[in-house]
């Protein structure tokens, strides 16, 4: 016997319709890509323009399931595309502009993008690549008439504002199966070609609900959210959807993510919550330190994408009164896997004991199920000590890559994350490493993340990466590659001494190399792969 409840498909268009009807005057503020200040409107106006845009895209020939590529920053036009494209039953394919040109071409061709919409910043890039984009029929520059180039090599370049202005908003969102594809994101693919993860309306809506929960992002109609995490990287962690569901004010930072630009926007728009990878907060905190600034409204910051250094979490809390929520996830998980918040029974603990829990990656919201397994796929105990390969499942976890790339990734119905970690009896996950980053020394594992966190806690260190280098006896040994803070001094010996007493003796790195800068991936993470290549011939002292 079936229940007797309405069978309304979960649809992304319903999110913006809801925000329009019940939070119509809640603002969406964007730093203009054109460079002249802020653009400001509200959910009602955004919905109106998304409908006009949907009509314009249909007039350009966009059909159900067609892909629309975007090369764009976090901004209101990108937001409109999110809703207009998916709401029409087509697929929004957000491309990471920081990828290598060949990868961008590969991705756009692999996705078979029909239309490509891009910000003014990327005009030179698209001019260069257009002839290699085999399936793109229409190129749309996301700007107004006044900023259109007088001359361009892009055939039939269209102007976004002209397309929107040519339509009215008499438009009803079509209805279709909730399992219909809605958005496509490629993983940055540290090895081999990037692979596409194809989200559905259903998975996106369930993720939007899950992400908004109190022990996850805790979003509300009283919050002002500034997503630093790009809309081209796993849908800005789903914030453009969850915010619409909750009626949260959105502030889009455009292309300037330096400390000053972010700080000014945080203050001017009274931002209460933000989210991004650790690297971006380094810049902001350095700027705040140097200028002795404080936040007046910011309450919490979600940090994930790579491990949040405990030193960063302390600094936010102790010096700025901002709560850091550590989060873990991946493109294949839409991306939220877990966020770290305490439980009631932890509230009576002293601050240090609470901190020891909060630096873990977190516990899963309802909707994410996980386990750790050994090499043979046997489940390991969740005792907070045993580490194993982390596997996940749930309605917003991927079951296969776009076009079947890489074959069937599932193992007994579970998705292997490629991460190694421990689980404890309270449900908290601690990531030891990516399985390919873990350092194997004398048959035992050393966590590069733990060693990096110690280096970063040293007052003279700005950023650090720990990698394994070949060792004749131990197979691999850790070395620290570190960047000093401007004007700060520390020697190799001092940094190595800093490890004493903090980890087992055999975990202490064998060497330190100071560099001016560390390599980062297109998603702003330390590129260990590049570092390992750079240090492939490295000889440890005394070997």
According to DSSP, the residues that pair with 461 across neighbouring strands are 484
Residue 73 or 76: the one with the smaller Cβ distance to ligand ADP is 73
Which three-class secondary structure state does DSSP give residue 27? strand
CB atoms within 10 A of CB 503: 15
Binding of ligand ADP by 309 (CB under 6 A): no
| 171-230 residues near ligand ADP, rule: CB under 6 A | 187-188, 190
Binding of ligand ADP by 364 (CB under 6 A): no
Residue 187 catalytic?
yes
Binding of ligand ADP by 307 (CB under 6 A): yes
Residue 180 or 417: the one with the smaller Cβ distance to ligand ADP is 417
Looking at 80, 178, 269, 332, which residue is catalytic?
332
- CA-wise closest residue to 500 among 454, 445, 463, 469: 454
Residue 178 or 332: the one with the smaller Cβ distance to ligand ADP is 332
Q: Please state, in angstroms and rounded to a whole number, the distance separating the CA atoms of residues 542 and 527.
A: 27
Residue 26 or 361: the one with the smaller Cβ distance to ligand ADP is 361
Residue 279 catalytic?
no
Q: Please state, in angstroms and rounded to a whole number, the distance separating the CA atoms of residues 360 and 431.
A: 7
Identify the sign of the CA torsion 503, 504, 505, 508.
negative
Count Cα atoms within 13 angstroms, Cβ side, for 432.
Answer: 22
Location of structure tokens 């984009």:
133
Binder among 299, 300, 525, 534 for ligand ADP (CB under 6 A): 525
Residue 517 catalytic?
no
Helices marked H in 97-188 — which ranges?
101-111, 123-129, 160-165
Residue 379 catalytic?
no
Binding of ligand ADP by 340 (CB under 6 A): no
Residue 320 beta carbon to ligand ADP: minimum distance, rounded to whole angstroms: 20
Binding of ligand ADP by 419 (CB under 6 A): yes
Binding of ligand ADP by 328 (CB under 6 A): yes
Binding of ligand ADP by 305 (CB under 6 A): yes
Q: Please state, in angstroms and rounded to a whole number, the distance separating the CA atoms of residues 382 and 427.
A: 8
Residue 31 or 326: the one with the smaller Cβ distance to ligand ADP is 326
Q: How many residues bind ligand ADP (CB under 6 A)?
A: 23
Instruction: Report the C-alpha dihedral over residues 40, 43, 44, 48, rounded to 10 degrees.
Output: 90
Helices marked H in 169-325 — which ranges?
201-212, 234-237, 239-246, 259-268, 278-290, 310-320
Looking at 343, 403, 436, 440, which residue is catalytic?
440
| 472-501 residues near ligand ADP, rule: CB under 6 A | none
Residue 248 or 306: the one with the smaller Cβ distance to ligand ADP is 306
The residues assigned a catalytic role are 187, 332, 440, 445
Q: Which parts of this chain interact with ligand ADP (CB under 6 A)?
A: 187-188, 190, 304-307, 326-331, 335, 361, 417-419, 431, 434, 521, 523, 525
């Amino acid at each position: 016997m079936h229940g007797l409840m309405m069978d309304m498909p979960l649809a992304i268009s319903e999110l913006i319709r809801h925000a329009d009807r019940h939070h119509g005057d809640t603002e969406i503020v964007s730093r203009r890509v054109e460079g002249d200040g802020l653009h400001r409107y509200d959910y009602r106006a955004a919905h109106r323009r998304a409908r006009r845009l949907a009509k314009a895209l249909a007039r350009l020939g966009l059909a159900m399931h067609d892909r629309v590529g975007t090369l764009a920053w976090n901004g209101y036009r990108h937001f409109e595309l999110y809703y207009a494209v998916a709401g029409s039953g087509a697929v929004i394919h957000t491309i990471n502009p920081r990828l290598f040109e060949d990868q961008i071409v590969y991705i756009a061709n692999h996705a078979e993008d029909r239309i490509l919409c891009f910000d003014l910043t990327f005009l030179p890039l698209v001019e260069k690549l257009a002839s290699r984009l085999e399936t793109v029929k229409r190129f749309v520059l996301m700007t107004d008439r006044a900023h259109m180039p007088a001359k361009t090599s892009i055939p039939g370049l269209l102007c976004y504002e002209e397309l929107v202005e040519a339509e009215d908003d008499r438009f009803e969102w079509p209805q279709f199966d909730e399992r219909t594809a809605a958005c496509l994101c490629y993983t940055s693919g540290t090895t081999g070609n990037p692979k596409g993860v194809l989200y559905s309306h259903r998975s996106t809506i369930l993720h939007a609900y899950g992400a908004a929960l109190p022990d996850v992002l805790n979003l509300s109609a009283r919050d002002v959210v500034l997503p630093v995490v790009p809309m081209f990287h796993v849908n800005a962690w789903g914030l453009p959807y969850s915010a619409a569901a909750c009626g949260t004010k959105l502030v889009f930072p455009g292309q300037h993510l330096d400390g000053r630009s972010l700080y000014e926007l945080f203050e001017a728009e009274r931002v209460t919550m933000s989210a991004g990878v650790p690297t971006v907060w380094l810049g902001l905190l350095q700027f705040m330190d140097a200028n002795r600034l404080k936040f007046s409204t910011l309450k919490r910051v979600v940090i994930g994408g790579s491990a949040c250094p405990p030193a960063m979490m302390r600094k936010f809390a102790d010096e700025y009164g901002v709560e850091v929520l550590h989060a873990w996830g991946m493109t294949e998980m839409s991306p939220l896997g877990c966020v770290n918040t305490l439980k009631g029974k932890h509230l009576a603990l002293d601050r240090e004991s609470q901190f020891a829990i909060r630096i873990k990656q977190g516990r899963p919201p309802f909707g994410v199920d996980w386990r750790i397994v050994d090499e043979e796929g046997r489940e390991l105990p969740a005792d907070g000590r045993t580490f194993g390969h982390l596997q996940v499942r749930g309605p917003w976890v991927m079951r296969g890559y776009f076009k079947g790339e890489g074959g069937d990734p599932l193992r007994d119905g579970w998705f292997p994350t490629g991460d190694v970690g421990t689980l404890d009896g309270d449900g908290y996950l601690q990531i030891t490493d990516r399985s390919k980053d873990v350092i194997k020394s004398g048959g035992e594992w050393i966590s590069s993340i733990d060693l990096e966190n110690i280096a970063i806690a040293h007052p003279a260190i700005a950023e650090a990466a720990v990698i394994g280098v070949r060792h004749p006896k131990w197979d691999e040994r850790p070395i620290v590659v570190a960047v000093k803070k401007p004007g700060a001094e520390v020697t190799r010996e001092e940094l190595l001494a800093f490890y004493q007493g903090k980890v087992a003796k055999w975990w202490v790195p064998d060497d330190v190399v100071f560099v001016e800068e560390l390599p980062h991936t297109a998603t702003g993470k330390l590129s260990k792969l590049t570092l390992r290549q750079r240090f492939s011939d490295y000889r440890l002292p005394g070997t």
